Amino acid sequence: MEIKKISDNIYEMPKSGKMNVPAKIFVSENMIKNIKGDKALQQIKNVAMMPGILKASMVMPDAHQGYGFPIGGVAAFDIEKGVISPGGVGYDINCSVRLLRTNLTLKDIKNKKEIIHSLFRSIPSGVGRGDKLILNKQELNGVLKEGAQWAVKKGYGVKEDYLHTEEEGKLNGANPDNVSERAKKRGLPQLGSLGAGNHFLEIQVVDEIYDEKIAREFGLEKGQITIMIHCGSRGLGHQVASDYIRLMEMEYKWPEQDRELVNAPINSKLGKEYFSAMACAANFAFANKQLITHWIREDLKHYFPKLKAEVVYDVCHNIAKFEKHTIDGKEKQVLIMRKGATRSFGEGREEIPKAYRKVGQPVIIPGSMGTASYVLVGTKKAEEISFSSTCHGAGRVESRTSAKKQRTGEEVKKDLSKKGIEVESGSMRGLSEEAPEAYKDIDEVIKVVDEVGIGKKVARLKPIAVMKG
């Protein structure tokens, strides 16, 4: 596959063969070998062959092989001619990140080991774990329709929480009738739980400010304690993806280039039903993080009676959305699929909370366990060159199977302890799979994003305690 460097940190795979558009790759020269090490390049080429795709098939600097789309893949589709694909969203629908700012500083955290252990006991985590909040089917339907807003109405948080969430914590178009009984059954016991894999809860300290003005707008300052929550729609979202992959395979032919990109026309009955079910799963994920936020506050008030823990922002990954973008000089509504990618709107967009509209959308990029995470701000440049998209994390360079062979969970925990990071986990195997060495260098990923201009650095956050499933 021919790849041309078109500018610093931007490469292009020219349109050829059955590609409808070229592929655009945001990556540094040092990182290009990683993206060539798996099937990510072939996958963005495959995406470029999909009907109705606009401008380019894109991939962010945290790219690696995924299901259908690569992780880090972004594509926009014409609503009349385009398609929607579960492989362009992913199995963990709205796997996403919420950041809380607190009124605590590092010197307030006297015993981080005790605190992270207490949070571990308060918030269910691990494969299949849940059952802290038991819902009936009627209540679950309310969650699927109203997302984080349902949780706040039930007393689990305050209005400002969802006002500082993407889509105000509620994706429109969600009809629970389009979610299977099996998906609902899987979701019923899991609301308010962290899950496993790369999901985490992390206590951090703001250790660097790059833009004082915007940091103030986001309520961040050096030395402040923050809390990051990374989780998604649990078994419900996974089942929605499985259900609609099967339905689309029954209704339509597999794409010649890759059966994992099975799809339906956006305006078809099945396409609309998938979007509705996906919106339900996204709303489950929003409510999930809202409940975890509530339980964090409840737990930490035992240690800090005057605690304030406010939502900075909550961003989506693994999502399809209808957005307005400028195509060939004209504004039009398109369907954007972001698979392991983050929205990065610049200032002025009405989708941004009023509190941030004059500076741009907060963009929250977690690192790997044991490395820094970053807060960025969205840009007008991103609107011009990447459909207002940027990376979603560090991105794996080593499979979970390989990571387990390289180091044990006990070794990972010991190494993190040497760095002053306390870890609480229900699975030593999970720790070995998520070792920092299994991920790309987050600093270089962010450097690419910042230099290209699809997000600008605001603050760096360093972990002091991590909870894993």
Catalytic residue IDs: 392
**Residue 58 and residue 48 in contact, taking contact as beta carbons nearer than 8 Å:** no
Q: Residue 469 in contact with residue 463, Cβ under 8 Å?
A: no
The two tokens of residue 347 are: 């200032």
Residue 286 CA from chain centroid, whole number: 12
Say how many residues make up the chain: 469
> Which residue shows structure tokens 């016991």?
189
* Buried b or exposed e, range 176-203, using 16+ CB within 10 angstroms: bebbbeebbebbbbbbbbbbbbbbbbbb
**253 C-beta neighbours (distance < 10 Å), count:** 9
Say how far apart CA 58 and CA 391 lie, in whole Å: 11
- CA–CA separation, 58 vs 44, rounded Å? 7
Report how far residue 219's alpha carbon sits from residue 311's, in angstroms, rounded to the nearest whole number: 10
Q: Give the whole-angstrom CA distance, residue 314 versus residue 346.
A: 16
59, β-bridge pairs:
25, 73
